[in-house]
Every structure is written in C-alpha cells, then in structure tokens.
Structure 1
Amino acid sequence: MTAERELEGRFALVTGAARGIGAAVVTALAERGARVLATDTATATATKSAGDGDRVVHRTLDVTDAAAVERVVAEAEDRLGPLDIAVNVAGILRTAPVVDLDDADWAAVFAVNTDGVFHVSRAVARRMTGRGRGSIVTVASNAAGVPRSGMAAYAASKAAAVMFTKCLGLEVAAQGVRCNTVSPGSTLTDMQRSLWADAPGGAEAGRRAVVEGDPAAYRTGIPLRRIAEPSDVAEAVAFLVSDRARHITMHDLYVDGGATLRA
C-alpha cells in the first residue's frame, strides 16, 4: 500500500482541529484515506475548512470537560465506528513572568494542555485496549524540554503532557496501543503570530528573532533557517500513527529545525 492511502479504513479523532496544526493533521490523515472526527470549541469549529470533503466530520468539543469528551467518543464509536487513531492537538498559550502569572491563566493552560490530553487519551485508550490496537499522538512543544522565559505555564503543561503520554504508552503497550508525542518548535500558526504582535520592530522583527536567535531571551535560533509550516508537524503525526511506525511507542519526536539542539 502506498503512503498516500496507508490509513484507508481507519477512523481518527483530532482535537484542536479547526486551525493551525490541528487542521493540518486533519488534512494529512484524510489525504491518506482515514475518516476523521475533527473537534474543536464551538467558535473554532465554525471556521472549518470548506474543502474537508466526505471523510471529515466536525463536532464541537471542549476537552476540559471530561463528561463531554466521554459523550463525543462514545457517540463517535456508536455511529461512525471504532477509533483507531487519536491526536491531541488542542492547546492554549498564556505568557507572563512567573511572578506576574495569575492563578486563572495557570489553571486555564493546564486545563486544556494537560487535563484535556488526559481526558481524551483516557477515553480512547479504554476502548483501544479492548480491541488490541490503536495509536495515540499528543502534540506537545519543544518548550517542554527547554526552559523559556515568560512561558512557564505553557512549558510545564506540555512537559506534563509528554510524560503522561509516555506513561500511558507503557501501560497499554501489551494491548497493542502505541502512544507517542510530537514536539514542534516555532510554527506558523495564530499562536506563534500572537507572540510577535508586540515585538520590538514589529512582527517581521519577531520572526527574524525566532530564526536568528535571541540571546537576551536565552534562545538559540533555528539551524535549518526556517519556521515550520503546520504541515511539517502534521507529516510527523501521520508517520507516527501509520504502520511505518508500528514498532515506535513512548517516543518524543522533535520537529523544530534543530532549534533546541535536542537538549
């Protein structure tokens, strides 16, 4: 079977699917033949791509609501079939120095980036283990492995999501379920662009600083000299959920152009 159709007959759930990396993941899986349940919050779901086609079904889902996650997963399996793939992409960013970070922002970041991963992964793993197959991928961040100024909540939440996914992978490996993470660096998404909004010199200066590095912020640049496109991350996800990665589990795949020097 060619890579273009390697997911034919499989059913995938993707969270955070309305834009950015999530939308790119939906496209990558659907192009490879999978049927995809694309979920996001109510407002974001309304922005779904008109070109999704018959392979993609959209549903509203707030991953912070454990009961809602259970309902959507159960409904999907009842009406559309067993889930073979789940990809946790939903995430939010709140930036501030720790001394200025308020409780609400800290809680909100963990509610989506960590609790959401737990809710979705638990719901699908319960079903996948009973069938003896499945693949779960969590999109984390290279910030989970390298400290970032002003991003303590985000980095900590993503680090927790990485370790959670590895622990889950260990627990379900004997039942044929694989669990991996993809950790992007700077990627051209709305979240990334929001970091440039107030950059000295404007957005273009902010973009250059990402590629070239910013010693004042203790950041190296990107050795490959480019910022990732969402499709770069989606390709890594598509590989990990495919049979080409059938002997890979509990792995954290960095997709950051070498920005962290794999520290």
Structure 2
Amino acid sequence: MKVPDREKKVALVTGAAQGIGEAVTIALSKQGYTVAAIDNNSDKLNILVEELKSQSLNVVGFTVDVADSIAVQKVTDEIEQKIGSVEVLVNVAGVLRMGLINSLSKEDWERTFAVNSTGVFNVSQSVSKYMIERRRGSIVTVGSNAASVPRMSMAAYAASKAAATMFTKCLGLELAQYNIRCNLVSPGSTNTEMQWALWDNENGEQAVIKGSLETFKVGIPLQKIATPSDIANTVLFLISDEANHITMNNVCVDGGATLGV
C-alpha cells in the first residue's frame, strides 16, 4: 500500500503499548514511519519500543495520560521539535469500565470520558494546530461499533465512543479547508486484552460469535472476531494516498455484528 512520499514521515499513536494500538504502531513503523508511541503504561510501552528498535524500526516512546491536556501539549511540542512534523495521528487510547447504569460509579463514568472522549480532543487539538500550519495531515480515531448500537453494562464506553465519533467528524469538517482528513475506524469484538477481560471462561470467543438473546447481541455473521491487524490495515488504508478523497467517514470493522447500521 502506497503511503505519502515524504522525506521524513512521522506518526503519533496513542494507546500504543498493546492491542490495536500496538498493531497500528508496528504497521506504521514497517511502512517507514517514525512512530511517536504514546501510552500511560510505561512498562509495556518500553518493552514494545525496545522490541521494535531491535528490528531496526523507528519508534520513540512517551509515557503520557491523554486525559492530561498539559502533558499532551508538552509531548506534542517535543515530538514536533525533536522528531519531526507529525503527518499522521491515530487516536487509539481507550478504557473500558463495565457496569449497569444504576450501579456505575461516578469515577468510572468520568474516567471513561476523560480517556475515550477528552483524550481524543486533547491530542487531536494539539497535533492539528501544527497540521493546520502545514496544510496537510491525516487523523484517524479508533472508535467502536458500540457507538451506534446500545450495549448492556457498557453505557459509559458506548457513550464516550459516540462522543469521540461525532467529535472526529466535526474535526474533519473544520479541518477540510486545510487539506487535513479525519476519519474513524470502529471495531467490533477484537482479540485484545480488553476483549479477554469480558470473557468468563475459555468459551468466551465462541459466545461472542454466537451472540446473546438475553443481552440483545446478534453475534458475528462472519463467524470470527477481528484481529488487531484487521483494524491496523484499515487505518493504513485511510491514511494512504488511495484514500485521499475520504474524510469524515466511519469504517466499521466488526464482521457484520451491527448489521451494517
């Protein structure tokens, strides 16, 4: 897949230390990008960075909580000044706090929005200021199919992802005049630690594929859950020159779980 042909391609990825963020970081680095990898988990981030460096890939790690706007702006400035111009931003950082609405704690609600919604705002705002000056760039936010379909015990997550989805579309509308494209990839069930945490036993994957009448989930028509690389490949397409006339779009990668809604 052809990526923008520039002397130094720099990409910033949040939530880079595991799951989808890790897959995106690996994919971008193999495409020739220097990746500024951001995550709140310094241990996992350091392991990933060292592993990729051992493969002669260009990755630099930054331990940052995306909910902290001051820290986000500081690290964005550092990346721009010391690494290079950020051509691509991929917002992946996210948390999942489960619970029925009548028992969900205020802390769980607020932390979910702080990372999943405000975090997307913080990083997108900081990075896009530089992109506007250069009049180019591509931003992809990893949302969720839960943003468009109600899920039991996932009100905070679904609502926060819905907010991030509409924010990214509004961002795309505002930044279009500067030749900056903003799109979304919305995964369904994906083989990550976040997904594993939802499973009660070794049959968790098959239960997700089958669906559940009690929780109003129809299952997955393709009879498989996604891999992190499935999501990363969609990100690669959206930032590529092949997608240079696509913006404010939401690509759902869920094996048909939301029936194309």
TM over 0.5: yes
User: Paired residue for 1:215?
Assistant: 213
Note the C-alpha offset of 1:207.
1.3
Counterpart residue identity of residue 145, structure 2 = N
Secondary structure in 2 matching 1:39: strand
Contact 2:46/2:61 (8 A) holds in 1: no
Identity in percent: 52
1:254 paired to 2:257:
no
Question: Which consecutive unaligned segments of at least 5 residues does structure 2 have?
Answer: none
Q: CA RMSD in A?
A: 1.3
- Corresponding residue for 1:12? 11
Report the counterpart of residue 142 of structure 1 in structure 2: 145
Q: CA deviation at 1:7?
A: 6.2
Q: How does 1:146-225 map to 2 (within 5 A)?
A: 146-196=149-199, 199=200, 202-204=201-203, 206-225=204-223
Aligned match of 2:108: 105
After the TM superposition, list the runs of 4 or more consecutive aligned residues in structure 1 that deviate by more than 6 angstroms.
none
Other structure's SS at 1:52 match: helix
Q: Using the alignment, how far apart are the partners of 1:51 and 1:246 within structure 2?
A: 32
Query: TM-score, normalising length from structure 1?
Result: 0.94
CA contact (8 A) 2:49 2:59 kept: no
- Given candidates 61, 65, 76, the residue that maps to 1:73 is 76
SS in 1 for 2:89: strand
Structure 1: 5+ residue runs without aligned partners? none
Is the 8 Å Cα contact of residues 3 and 240 (structure 2) preserved in structure 1? no
Which residue identity is paired with 1:214? S
Deviation at 1:66, TM superposition (A): 0.3
**Deviation at 1:5?**
6.0
Q: Aligned AA for 2:32?
A: G
CA contact (8 A) 2:3 2:241 kept: no
Deviation at 1:4?
6.3
Q: Which residue of 2 aligns with 1:23?
A: 22
Establish whether residue 87 from structure 1 lines up as the match of residue 90 from structure 2.
yes
Please tell me the residue identity of whatever aligns with 2:48.
K
Shift of 1:212: 1.1
TM-score for both structures, normalised by structure 2: 0.95
Displacement after TM superposition at 1:214 (Å) = 0.8
Which has the larger displacement, 49-58 or 20-29? 49-58
Native 8 Å contact 1:193 1:203 kept in 2:
no
Matched residue, 1:118: 121
Aligned to 1:48: 48
Number of residue-to-residue matches in the alignment? 256
Distance 2:43 2:65 in 1: 11
Q: Is this contact kept in 2: 1:4–1:31, CA < 8 A?
A: no
State the one-letter code of the partner of 2:248. M
Flag the 1:246–1:4 CA change in 2: closer, same or farther, 3 A: closer
Whether contact under 8 Å (1:7, 1:32) holds in the other structure is no
**How far off its partner does 1:243 sit?**
1.0
Moved more, 29-38 or 176-185: 29-38
Aligned-partner Cα distance in 2 for 1:188–1:100:
28
